Structures are given as structure tokens and as C-alpha cells.
Structure 1
Amino acid sequence: MTSDQETRPGIGEVAKDLGTGKIGFVMGEEGGKVQLRPLSGGIEWDAEPGHVVTPPAGEKLSAQVAVENDRSRWGV
């Protein structure tokens, strides 16, 4: 296992794609890419493995609060 695999968030964990700046759940790996799904659900996107990191606590919390605010506002 490479050091980047040892430090990268695992399946089901919240991660940040440094290539796009988006935060999502790690869904798996396929074809050398990491699949991430938005916290609010939706279509997965592919990220370069070296771009997938654990987001800082403040960014993670902010993203989660935004999702919950949308759910309470729009009932989704």
C-alpha cells in the first residue's frame, strides 16, 4: 500500500477533491480513480487519487450544515 492510500479517506468517509474543491463521500475506486458522491446525494464524480484528502474540520462541518439547511428548507 502506498503512503497516499494510507492517508486517503476510506469508503464512506467524507473527503475533499482538491482538483474541484468539492466535498463528498468516498464511494469506491475504479479505473485508477476515486469515486466521490456529493454530501446531498446525486451523481458521483471521478477524482485523481492524489487529489482526495480529508477536509479540514471547518470545511467538513460547513459542507454538512449547508446540506442540512437545504434539506430543512426544501424538504429533500
Structure 2
Amino acid sequence: MKRIFLTCAALLFSSQALADECASASTQLEMNRCAAAQYQAADKKLNETYQSAIKRAQPPQRELLQKAQVAWIALRD
């Protein structure tokens, strides 16, 4: 439980720091850097969530989840 709390706190504070930097971005370069950092953070969280779901899923659901992921990646890209 303590580990979960610390993880959530770290994510909360890091996202707040990033939001503060992005709120004061005044040039296109700064905005692009903020957008890239936000994208990377969201992509990392998405990958962690997907891996967690894959580990917990039973084989039939795991297969469906993997097929859905492949379809989503094709749509996204």
C-alpha cells in the first residue's frame, strides 16, 4: 500500500512540475518540447498499463487484448 501511495505521489508531483513548465512556454520550441514530454509520459503510462493488463488477463482475454492493441496501433499510426 505504501508503494502505491509513493508511486501516485511521484506521478502527481512530476505531472504538476511539467504542467507548470508548459503553462509558461512562450516559444514554439518550448511548446514542442512540452508536447513531446507529455506524449512520452502518456505513452510510458499507457505501455505500463497495457503490460499490467496482459499479465493479469487469462489466455482468451489476453489474445483479444493483443489483437485490439495491434488494431489500435495500426489506427494510431
* Max Rg structure: 2
Select the structure with the greater relative contact order (CA < 8 A; seq sep ≥ 6).
Answer: 1
TM norm structure 1: 0.32
TM norm structure 2: 0.32
- Structure number having the greater helix percentage: 2
